[in-house]
Structure 1
Amino acid sequence: MLISGSSKSVSRLLNDIKNAAPYKVNALIVGPTGAGKELVAQYLHDWSNRHGNMVSVNCAAIPRELLEAELFGHEKGAFTGAATRRIGRFEEAAGGTLFLDEIGDMPLELQSKILRVIETKSVCRVGSNKEVHVDFRLICATHQNIQDKVKRGEFREDLMYRISVIVLDVPPLKDRIEDFPDLITALCNQIETDGSGLTPPTVNEDGLREMVSHSWPGNVRELKNFLQRAAVLYRDAPINAETVRRLLHLNADRNSEQNALLQATSEIPDVDSEIESDSKNNTDAFENVGLNVLDYGFCLKGFLSDIETELIVAALSVENHNIAGTAKRLALNRTTLIAKMGKYGIK
């Protein structure tokens, strides 16, 4: 995917990336969740002269007791379950770029080891006393204020200075509303080619104005999810202002969703009632949940499944695809969440 838009903030960001990309200096990408920090890291790598791969590690998604072995690798028998030698992410990034996402969540006890690797460009696998030299470029990202974490004693000050030779600030979506047309086009093109089988939605001017007025706390990731949701639920109609409001309602908290559905379904008359005389009330009830029964028909089970799917996808995005965090956010058991993901084909 491309960094799309012509706003001043995006133009400045692209210019900073081009200036920093050719040099093997550490870079820190800051910005809110969902704004596209990993995409900026990919640009830095792609526009550099490094021939190795970009290896990504989400420091918040890996349990702290496993993160060290993930980064440094381990020798056979180093700990219970270490049946074979494993190369760590630092070594995998040799000749290329190591991207440490959410560096602000890295355990304090591991930060000193990261600092030493940065200084010596060598790693020691868990269970070994042999140093391995590694040529890598380090790019980090965080949505947190690292300086505040330093003041609270949660992040090493010397490490902060080491990783932030270059600082790239990714703006939130609400600060670049002029980029909406370009972003929608780029995201719709991605939907068309991502193998999902979806047909990208069309957004009319009325719908675009309504979208621009939304704060988009989930940033570009939320916008992408919104367009995917529109492609599923409104395949044959352009996205207007009313549709935008209905679709954004799916981002409400879970209790609000359940209350809205209960209220809507409670207004549907019994099958023994006179359908003809109550058809207007029937239609109003369905419109409360974002559908027009006269145009589309209605399947309650399918509609509830769609909502549950979208809520799970949205929660996974917010939690950076961490299963435990997503289950907690949705008030589900971890095994229940995994079962639901399998049921709905969510990867």
Structure 2
Amino acid sequence: MNAVFKNIKFINPIVGSSPAIKQMQSDLLDCAPYNVNVLATGPTGAGKELVAQVIHLASGRKGPLVSVNCAAIPKDLLEAELFGHEKGAFTDAISRRVGRIEQAEGGTLFLDEIGDMPLDLQAKLLRIIEARVVTRVGSNTETPVDFRLVCATHQDLEAKVALGQFREDLMYRLSVFVVRVPSLKERLQDIPELVEKISQQMETGDTGLVPPRFELCAQAELMRYDWPGNVRELKNFLQRAAVLSRGEPVEHLDIRRLLNGKIKVAEEQETLWDAIEALPKHEDSLDPETPDYEATGLSLSHERIRETLGAGQIFSLKEHLEKHESDIVKIALEMCGGNTAEAAKLMALKRTTLIAKIHKYNLVDL
């Protein structure tokens, strides 16, 4: 669980520790306790539905979280879906039905893709927000409702208002508190955590897929792609990788093939991965007689690791990964002639982050 939610007792579905995600989680923590309308904005596939989940869980409301995708339901059915209907209200209304708004009583109503809601329904939603009553289709009776409203859109509502396609008064009602969901391109450093989370879901799901195993260079390669489809595209990519890798480790060249050459590769970047793969690999770098070991290569055999762990010896994962990181940073700096800006670009890092690693691994004299 991220530190920002340490005092809230629930499983946080949002994965990542990048500055963009930390800011979003801080915003969610600020607004969650208050019964104000929230509008989540951001690109398609970025995970805006998670905003509703976190707000609902952190709000302490006892009712359910009810979700409606306004773009997925035909216009002539959306009104009955939201407001409910009485028996005989229209041809197929063979019985009374409670709408999704009433179902959210005491809980949270999440309206996804609110920008696609028809204008006539926007007016009715505005009245419900103001009066807190709902009238089913075919009825004159108003039913009081108590719900927390969270909406989401990938569209520019102000632009739609200017075009006369969205009510300005409703836009202001919905956007009491706006939460921006960052694109995956803005949080590339979260990819390892996202891969781990998606892999866990893959293991417990019903797809029958075995999560792919990525070499270190392959993980770095994932962070060099823009991911225009965001987290949704990453999830689909991991499923494709699971199918095609068939249990074999995935390397950086495999990533490029799986992405159909969408990653633009500079010659010096190719050289970087070639240099990394050319480093000596010492499978015997684990000494079973010594609890602490010094990893001297970029890979260890799975059999050797299992043997060591099975013997009750300590395998210092932290030291092993730090050795990998130190070697790669050193290679990148040497290739760039000590130019930290260029080396940081090669490794998809911020220059300040690279400088911190240089001091951490005592590489200042390179």
**CA distance in 1: counterparts of 2:16 and 2:78, whole angstroms:** 36
Higher relative contact order (CA 8 A, sep 6+): 1
* Aligned-partner SS, 1:175: helix
The alpha carbon displacement at 1:145 in A equals: 0.6
The alpha carbon displacement at 1:203 in A equals: 1.2
* Aligned-partner SS, 1:249: coil
Q: Which amino acid aligns with 1:58?
A: N
In structure 1, the partner of 2:167 is 156
CA contact (8 A) 2:83 2:136 kept: yes
CA deviation profile, 1:285-318 (whole Å, cap 9, x unmatched): xxxxxxxxxxxxxxxxxxxxxxxxxxxxxxxxxx
The alpha carbon displacement at 1:155 in A equals: 0.4
Q: 1:234 aligns with which of 242, 245, 252?
A: 245
**CA distance in 1: counterparts of 2:17 and 2:83, whole angstroms:** 40
2:231 aligned with 1:220, yes or no?
yes
* Aligned-partner SS, 2:68: strand
What runs of 5+ residues in structure 1 fail to find an aligned partner? 252-347
The alpha carbon displacement at 1:205 in A equals: 1.9
2:46 aligned with 1:35, yes or no?
yes
In structure 1, the partner of 2:208 is 197
In structure 1, the partner of 2:193 is 182
Normalised to the residue count of structure 2, the TM-score between the two structures is 0.67
2:62 aligned with 1:64, yes or no?
no
2:103 aligned with 1:92, yes or no?
yes
For residues 73-92 of structure 1, what are the structure 2 equivalents within 5 Å?
73-92=84-103
CA deviation profile, 1:67-99 (whole Å, cap 9, x unmatched): 000000000000011000000000000000000
In structure 2, the partner of 1:23 is 34
CA deviation profile, 1:212-244 (whole Å, cap 9, x unmatched): 121111100100111111111212211212211
2:248 aligned with 1:246, yes or no?
no
Normalised to the residue count of structure 1, the TM-score between the two structures is 0.71
* Aligned-partner SS, 1:100: strand
Instruction: Tell which structure's C-alpha radius of gyration is larger.
Output: 2
CA contact (8 A) 2:210 2:247 kept: no
* Aligned-partner SS, 1:81: coil
In structure 1, the partner of 2:217 is 206
Give every structure 1 segment of 4 or more consecutive aligned residues whose post-TM-superposition deviation is greater than 4 Å: none
Higher mean C-alpha displacement, 239-248 vs 33-42: 239-248
Percent identity over paired residues: 60
CA deviation profile, 1:94-119 (whole Å, cap 9, x unmatched): 00000000000001111000000000
**CA distance in 2: counterparts of 1:50 and 1:209, whole angstroms:** 41
For residues 1-20 of structure 1, what are the structure 2 equivalents within 5 Å?
2-20=13-31
Q: Which amino acid aligns with 1:49?
A: G
The alpha carbon displacement at 1:209 in A equals: 2.3
* Aligned-partner SS, 1:11: helix
What RMSD over aligned residues (CA atoms) do the two structures have, in Å? 1.3
CA contact (8 A) 2:88 2:95 kept: yes
Work out the number of aligned pairs and report it.
Answer: 251
**CA distance in 1: counterparts of 2:228 and 2:142, whole angstroms:** 44
CA contact (8 A) 1:2 1:186 kept: no
Q: Which amino acid aligns with 2:106?
A: G
The alpha carbon displacement at 1:250 in A equals: 10
In structure 1, the partner of 2:151 is 140
Cα 1:206–1:162 change in 2 (3 A) is: same
CA contact (8 A) 2:213 2:250 kept: yes
* Aligned-partner SS, 1:213: coil
In structure 2, the partner of 1:165 is 176
What runs of 5+ residues in structure 2 fail to find an aligned partner? 1-11, 263-366
* Aligned-partner SS, 2:231: helix
CA contact (8 A) 1:21 1:48 kept: yes
**CA distance in 1: counterparts of 2:86 and 2:120, whole angstroms:** 21
CA deviation profile, 1:28-86 (whole Å, cap 9, x unmatched): 00000000000111011011120000000000000001100000000000001100000
CA contact (8 A) 2:213 2:247 kept: no
* Aligned-partner SS, 1:123: strand
Higher mean C-alpha displacement, 95-104 vs 210-219: 210-219
